[in-house]
Structure 1
């Protein structure tokens, strides 16, 4: 089957020269050819993401055109074509080219595009869709994936990533495109002349920065805090720096070696603030100036990592759960007149720490599936029904949303808020680690960890399926010395309690996720990644001490690892 696809490309006389050369370079490597052509690059609920290069299973101008053709059909089907589509892109290879190709496909259908003149953060694209009253949005990014990747993320008219029903509709339109090589595009200059390709820049920036002022909770506090910030060669420098300055922060130090956009992400092994090595340069600079707080964003600036002095002359990188807990506690402690119907929204793999903090302020918590699109979907629902007031949303993977003028996780907002939280605690003579310890003393020692197993290619996908089947069908009664209380299977949306063998429905969309609820506030969850060739295992525990929590979480991980070694 894959050879038919390969031959179709090889025989296409108008194939892009660069892609044709790249195809020639692997013509004798059958394994590489098979991987490039054995399937179509999947357009899923979060759009698509893959390695750059020739082939139906790669990111290139043809697979991007196919996605854009599906988007055009979706926008027309919604009857919103006149409102146009906002398009942004990050610092990766081919990002601007893919943005323009998207506009050329849309323009062929008479749909206007609003394309940023230069790279912008993903959250600004989310904001731009709403600000421009566009019908949809696209951001060309592969987030924190390695340099050889790029991606295409689609947004709805609310500025959120497409929730399941809308995503299914668009996926159907994308899949109706039979031949990606034959998608028609309009001429760029003609589109510009006809007003169907409009370049946007500072006007949207200024509108976003104006909204960013609302993130500040206590504008009157002293902002005497020394900050180090690195955009990790991505899109965030300009907006983060301007946002911090307009909020009153003056001691802002940029890691200049990582400040310029670089598709190779030369100074880091991975441009992911979840990886501690991404902080190495920021930590060195922090030590040299005695900085109080270090911040790093991923290339498209929807994730924020934070590191703080640990009292030994070094810096500790906080987890996403810890940073989220600190921001949540600060918001709830210092926001006057919290609404009675206030709501925290988090994902099913995010720490229960947030729920306990929210409960202490009589604020309810809603769990969603993993993926910020589900948080954005709930915010829109609350706007329409008035049932709840959104107060904060976050996920363990360093994604936070403070104010709903964006509908995706927003590292720019998070940077401004965590700087304020750091300044507040510094005024109390405390670091963020001290503040976190206070929260642990008050609510219990919550600890989480993540085990991520990379399994690439077709064989990797088969192994991931095998792992999910094993954990789904095995009779697992105990993990790490803790009894299994219930098993939540989000593929069937059924929660099964072990004692009594009773079941109840989970009121969430279906997803290939399993969560094991253990005794004594422990749990673990396994989920194939939707954007990377990985399966992820999430662990959470709570005890009365750090030492006990560390010991317990290692025990859970060891048990799961033992089972994995048999399966891989």
Structure 2
């Protein structure tokens, strides 16, 4: 059917404004300190990366009182050819090039970038020298979790028995934050649908108000149970609100991140992919996973493996005691090697591409310590995999 014919015949309808208004009201309800935003003086540069975020993100920022929003002009309107951004992914620094360029003249407190379908959001903030520093999805998600827990507890608006959700490859700093604020932290398999599923479980029990926040390391965030997928509109709103709140306290987002690391430890995360191209690629991926199960490493990067969680066998084994635990998550071709000092390596084949993905976590007293250990893990594990 032709689009215009569909409109004329009534087979295709535009979403009415009252539905959009109800959605924006639900998003705004997830705010914690929206009353502080209007007078915070927060200045934002925003790019929808030629995608769908332009109107809803600007609408929600206006709704909570942010007056100074400068949109990257070349990336304002929808354009599926993405002429100024060949890879419109807010996880990639190159995607933010136009936004970072505009920041040199506008000098905002925050650069905000949503991906084309507006379900993920990335940020950059200025350092003391005026250079803009990108934050990872793990960092933003952990900071939002801490902010929500800290401020809802202070305001007395935390639900009874609150629940937060993260994926198994998302930062474990959340465990320390959740423990501090008596929040039940649920871990699910990779994929935001599994976070949405947890909200569904709570809803069936009539307890969906217990859900306070969920996120994954790949820049997807959700507060509230009004939708069941990551939502960059509420993510953008909460990030801006958090920045405005800290600004009223004289704290930059860089300082807030540093304070979080000082309190809970310097958690460092990275993800590396190993290509398995060609006709034999899928077979090689299977062989690698089979070999890791049959001959698991005793140490990685000089750190002893203390625990192995095999999500295909639904079994976790403590190598020090030999104790086995049944994993209750759905079966998935994922292996997690938990190491000394809180480090870990998680490996899984990609579900969409001929590659194997490894997720590395290290914890250090300083960022330099964590980086040095991470380098050892990556190099050693590469050899273990035979690349």
2:178 maps to which of 337, 347, 358:
358
1:109-139 deviation per Cα after TM superposition (whole angstroms, max 9, x unaligned): xxxxxxxx89xxxxxxxxxxxxxxxxxxxxx
2:103 aligns with 286
**Alignment root-mean-square deviation, CA:** 2.1
Which residue does 2:290 correspond to in 1?
469
* Residue 536 of structure 1: how far off its partner (Å): 1.4
Verify: 1:202 aligned to 2:23, yes or no. Answer: no
Number of equivalent positions: 381
The one of 24, 28, 47 aligned to 1:230: 47
The answer (yes or no) to whether the contact 1:493–1:507 under 8 Å persists in 2 is yes
Deviations 1:43-88 (A, max 9, x none): xxxxxxxxxxxxxxxxxxxxxxxxxxxxxxxxxxxxxxxxxxxxxx
Structure 1 residue 452, shift from structure 2 partner: 2.2
Q: Secondary structure at the match of 1:563?
A: helix
**Which residue pairs with 1:400 in the alignment?**
221
**Structure 2 equivalent of residue 271 of structure 1:** 88
Structure 1 residue 277: deviation in Å? 1.4
Q: Deviations over 1:6-60 (max 9, x none)?
A: xxxxxxxxxxxxxxxxxxxxxxxxxxxxxxxxxxxxxxxxxxxxxxxxxxxxxxx
Relative CO higher for 1 or 2, CA cutoff 8 Å, sep ≥ 6? Answer: 2
CA contact (8 A) 1:227 1:293 kept: yes
d(CA) in 2 for partners of 1:460 and 1:204? 47
In the alignment, which of 32, 40, 61 is matched to residue 217 of structure 1?
32
Q: 1:534 corresponds to which residue?
A: 355
1:159-218 C-alpha deviation (Å, 9 max, x unpaired): xxxxxxxxxxxxxxxxxxxxxxxxxxxxx75x975x665443434322211212212211
The 1:412–1:457 alpha-carbon spacing in structure 2 relative to 1, beyond 3 Å, is farther
Local SS of the residue matching 1:520:
helix
- Alpha-carbon distance in 1 for matches of 2:310, 2:379: 22
Structure 1 runs of 4+ aligned residues shifted over 6 Å read: none
Q: 2:136 corresponds to which residue?
A: 319
Q: In 2, are the aligned partners of 1:343 and 1:390 still within 8 Å (CA)? A: yes
Instruction: State the match for 1:391 in structure 2.
Output: 212
Q: Structure 1 residues 409 and 246, CA, compared in 2 at 3 Å: closer, same or farther?
A: same
**Structure 1 residue 539: deviation in Å?**
0.9
Structure 2 residue 262 is the aligned partner of structure 1 residue 441: yes
Measure the CA separation in 2 of the matches of 1:264 and 1:453: 29
The change in CA–CA distance for 1:475 and 1:326 in structure 2 (over 3 A counts) is: closer
Instruction: Tell me if structure 1 keeps the 8 A contact 2:276–2:282.
Output: yes
Structure 1's unaligned 5+ residue stretches are 1-99, 102-116, 119-187
1:490 aligns with 2:311: yes
CA contact (8 A) 2:40 2:247 kept: no
Describe the SS at the equivalent of 1:436. Answer: helix
Aligned to 2:117, which of 278, 284, 300? 300
Question: 1:343 pairs with 150, 154, 163, which one?
Answer: 163
Taking the aligned partners of 1:376 and 1:315, their CA distance within structure 2 comes to 33
Give the drift of 1:467. 2.6
Please give the per-residue CA displacement for 1:385-439, whole angstroms capped at 9, x wherever unaligned.
Answer: 2567101000111010011111100111000110011111122222111001111
Change (3 A) 1:384 1:312: same
Residues 52-67 of structure 1: pairs in structure 2 closer than 5 A: none
User: Structure 2 unaligned runs (5+)?
Assistant: none
**TM-aligned CA deviation for residue 463 of structure 1:** 3.0
